[in-house]
């Protein structure tokens, strides 16, 4: 009898396992991932109740005590230990403590490229309780000035190779912003941080200078190599040809990517020993399915951990299973923590679809919908610096019932039958190109500064084998004015970062608008840049000729075949 029960139990377990694999193939993946999320949430709540929250700096200092001589940063052959970085950041803190009026809670803008001093300045200011606003090192002129003004800093710290970008806008900076440069010789109106660092003490500044952190603090704990005790190999600029050599040389096991990086690596000529490395995990976002598949086939069994999220957003998705192409995965339990939905969207009106009662509707599985995430105490949205209108613009109110509020991600997603989520497209006033977010209004404003342009409508168009979308501008000329392509080229290269250049121009006689008088983008996006479909004059930014040239069928074919690089 016992043998019968044991046999029956064994058969039941096998059957249960078979049913689980058949009907719920990702059950255990979801279970372990959810367990980690819950544990992380519990830790945060415990810290919060104690009035303590662990920041990046706290975790770094903890690791610096445990392993002071372990390499923290390897940069162009130079090694910086945890102790080195700790002492150098102490010097930075000492300089600003004794030679500025900064205090805990003040904001400091940081304009610096990839280099160890980026971390030194960041941690040094954090030791004084200052909030550091990281500026995009590619932006220039009015765009840079706008970003600096938006974060309302008390000081601005500039890297060695970026001082010229600041000199251009120095006269227009608010008078109450002190400017510091990591350089010995500086122009009038700029202080030398390098000079002060030579005599500064490397002793820790009193921790009393740091303000108390809470859940709204903008420098909360995040996962970085410095917080986990690992070593970070840092490069000034990404090099596809040297990437795997560096991975082998420094025994890299994990790297962070954007989709373009994986594509660049796959475009490199094949060579022997491409799987001869120790990389086991790649974390990032934006890699296409075909590139993903080619990458792992060519470079070995590397687990790709695709993420989705935004710095300011209140939702994060993760493809913890490694399903090719998916940006994340959801289930009933996950939505308990992150209540999001995919809602129907009107591409012609460029707004969510609402029924007769004024409510939005959820899409069916397999149907693209706008990703929105509920704003509540559990998942707040703290908004943007500066004008409140920018914050309000990202919110959708009265979505499913009166009084509810949702964060509008601006991204269209598709959820399949297995509850994986796939990126479909980006809507609204931004698009991505070369791994960067591009604000269409910013590009349109720069083009609109030309005296012969009446109006411009900027959007992104798909180009084969490229991640994201290339910039394109539809232009309306002022009456009795002619197009000056030379001035357009000079304008965009002077005032825009390279990734934001409109690669294509379209000259129209009249701009189509929505019912609320917003320029229509969707029909233009659908038409793309094909001279076979479009009768309007088209132009292409030729990088070799450094000019906009007529987009002929021959040029179009070369672009589509990948013979011309954008």
Could you report the average pLDDT of every consecutive run of 10 residues in the chain (566 residues)?
62 60 75 85 78 83 96 96 98 97 94 97 96 93 92 96 95 95 95 97 86 49 55 94 96 93 94 95 93 96 94 92 95 87 92 96 97 94 84 96 97 96 91 91 93 96 93 96 96 94 97 80 94 96 96 96 92
Nearest alpha carbon to residue 442 among 461, 456, 427, 426: 456
Task: Out of 206, 228, 250, pick the residue that ends a domain.
Answer: 228
C-beta separation of 318 from 328 below 8 A: yes
First to last CA, the chain: 75
- Is 288 contained in some domain? yes
Q: How many domains does the chain have?
A: 4
Which residues make beta-bridge pairs with 346?
351
Distance CA(326)–CA(191), nearest Å, equals 48
Same domain (yes/no): 409, 280: no
From residue 39, give the alpha-carbon distance in Å to each of 43, 222, 498: 6, 15, 43
C-beta separation of 158 from 186 below 8 A: no
C-beta separation of 141 from 495 below 8 A: yes
Beta-strand pair 178-181/190-192: parallel
- Is 26 contained in some domain? no
Same domain (yes/no): 130, 269: no
Distance CA(239)–CA(120), nearest Å, equals 24
Task: Out of 427, 460, 493, pick the residue that ends a domain.
Answer: 427
Same domain (yes/no): 413, 472: no
List the CATH number of the domain containing 78. Answer: 3.40.50.12780
Same domain (yes/no): 107, 214: yes
- Is 18 contained in some domain? no
Q: Which two tokens stand for residue 181?
A: 């440069």
List the CATH number of the domain containing 381. Answer: 2.30.38.10
List the CATH number of the domain containing 504. Answer: 3.30.300.30
> How confident is the model at residue 224, as a pLDDT?
46
**If you write DSSP's letter for every residue of 219-251 in order, what string do you get?**
TB----HHHHT--EEE-SS--TTTHHHHHHHTT
- Is 29 contained in some domain? no
Same domain (yes/no): 555, 437: yes
Same domain (yes/no): 171, 152: yes
Q: How many CB atoms lie within 10 A of CB 403?
A: 7
- Is 521 contained in some domain? yes
C-beta separation of 457 from 489 below 8 A: no
> How confident is the model at residue 13, as a pLDDT?
61
Instruction: Specify the DSSP class assigned to residue 384.
Output: -
Contacts (Cβ under 8 Å, ≥6 apart) of 54? 47, 221
- Is 38 contained in some domain? no
Same domain (yes/no): 497, 532: yes
Contacts (Cβ under 8 Å, ≥6 apart) of 101? 154
Same domain (yes/no): 135, 269: no
Instruction: Specify the DSSP class assigned to residue 564.
Output: S
Same domain (yes/no): 132, 188: yes
Same domain (yes/no): 153, 243: no
Contacts (Cβ under 8 Å, ≥6 apart) of 526? none
Cα Rg for the chain, rounded, in angstroms? 26
- Is 16 contained in some domain? no
Same domain (yes/no): 352, 274: no
Give me the phi and psi of 148, to 5 degrees please: -65, -45
Distance CA(79)–CA(154), nearest Å, equals 32
From residue 466, give the alpha-carbon distance in Å to each of 435, 559, 565: 10, 11, 10
For the question of whether the overall pTM of this predicted structure is more than 0.95, the answer is no
Contacts (Cβ under 8 Å, ≥6 apart) of 489? 541, 546, 547, 548
C-beta separation of 163 from 139 below 8 A: no
Domain that residue 522 falls in = 433-560
- Is 112 contained in some domain? yes
Task: Out of 228, 249, 269, pick the residue that ends a domain.
Answer: 228
Same domain (yes/no): 248, 224: no
Distance CA(171)–CA(141), nearest Å, equals 12
From residue 159, give the alpha-carbon distance in Å to each of 169, 236, 362: 15, 12, 48
């Amino acid at each position: 009898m016992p043998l019968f029960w044991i046999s029956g139990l064994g058969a039941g377990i096998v059957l249960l396992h078979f049913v689980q694999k058949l009907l719920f193939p990702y059950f255990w993946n979801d279970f372990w991932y959810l367990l980690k999320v819950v544990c992380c949430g519990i830790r945060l709540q415990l810290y919060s109740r104690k009035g303590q929250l662990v920041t990046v700096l706290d975790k770094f200092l903890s690791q610096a005590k445990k392993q002071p001589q372990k390499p923290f940063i390897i940069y162009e052959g130079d090694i910086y230990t945890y102790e080195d970085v700790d002492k150098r950041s102490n010097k930075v803190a000492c300089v600003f403590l004794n030679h500025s009026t900064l205090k805990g809670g003040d904001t400091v803008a940081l304009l610096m490229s990839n280099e160890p001093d980026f971390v030194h300045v960041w941690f040094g200011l954090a030791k004084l309780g200052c909030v550091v606003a990281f500026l995009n090192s590619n932006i220039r002129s009015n765009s840079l000035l706008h970003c600096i003004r938006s974060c309302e800093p008390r000081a601005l710290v500039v890297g060695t190779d970026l001082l010229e970008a600041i000199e251009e806008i120095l006269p227009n900076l608010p008078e109450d912003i002190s400017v510091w440069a990591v350089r010995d010789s500086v122009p009038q109106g700029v202080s030398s941080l390098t000079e002060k660092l030579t005599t500064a003490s490397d002793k820790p500044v009193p921790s009393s200078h740091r303000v108390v952190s809470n859940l709204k603090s903008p420098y909360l704990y995040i996962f970085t190599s410095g917080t986990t005790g690992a070593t970070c190999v840092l490069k000034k600029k990404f090099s596809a040809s040297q990437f795997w050599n560096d991975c082998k040389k420094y025994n890299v096991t994990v790297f962070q990517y954007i989709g373009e990086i994986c594509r660049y690596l796959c475009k490199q000529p094949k060579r022997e020993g491409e799987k001869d490395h120790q990389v086991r995990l790649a974390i990032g976002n934006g890699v296409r399915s075909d590139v993903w598949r080619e990458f792992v086939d060519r470079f070995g069994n590397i687990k790709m951990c695709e993420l989705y999220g935004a710095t300011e957003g209140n939702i994060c998705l993760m493809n913890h299973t490694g399903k090719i192409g998916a940006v994340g995965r959801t289930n009933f339990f996950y939505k308990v923590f992150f209540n999001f939905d995919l809602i129907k969207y009107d591409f012609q009106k460029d707004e969510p679809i609402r029924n007769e009662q004024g409510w939005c509707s959820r899409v069916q599985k397999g149907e693209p919908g706008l990703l929105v995430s509920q704003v509540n105490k559990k998942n707040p949205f703290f908004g943007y610096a500066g004008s409140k209108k920018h914050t309000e613009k990202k919110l959708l109110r009265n979505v499913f019932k009166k009084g509810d509020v949702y964060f509008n991600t601006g991204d269209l997603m598709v959820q399949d039958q297995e509850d994986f989520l796939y990126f479909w497209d980006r809507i609204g006033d931004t698009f991505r190109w070369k791994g960067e977010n591009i604000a269409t209004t910013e590009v349109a404003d720069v083009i609109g500064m030309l005296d012969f342009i009446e109006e411009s409508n900027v959007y992104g168009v798909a180009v084969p084998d490229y991640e994201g979308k290339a910039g394109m501008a539809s232009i309306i000329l002022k009456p009795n004015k002619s197009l000056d392509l030379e001035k357009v080229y000079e304008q965009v290269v002077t005032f825009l970062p390279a990734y934001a250049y409109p690669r294509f121009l379209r000259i129209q006689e009249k701009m189509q608008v929505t019912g609320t008088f917003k320029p229509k983008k969707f029909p233009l996006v659908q038409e793309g840049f094909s001279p076979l479909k479009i009768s309007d004059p088209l132009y292409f930014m030729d990088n070799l000729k450094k000019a906009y040239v007529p987009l002929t069928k021959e040029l179009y074919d070369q672009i589509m075949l990948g013979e011309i690089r954008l």
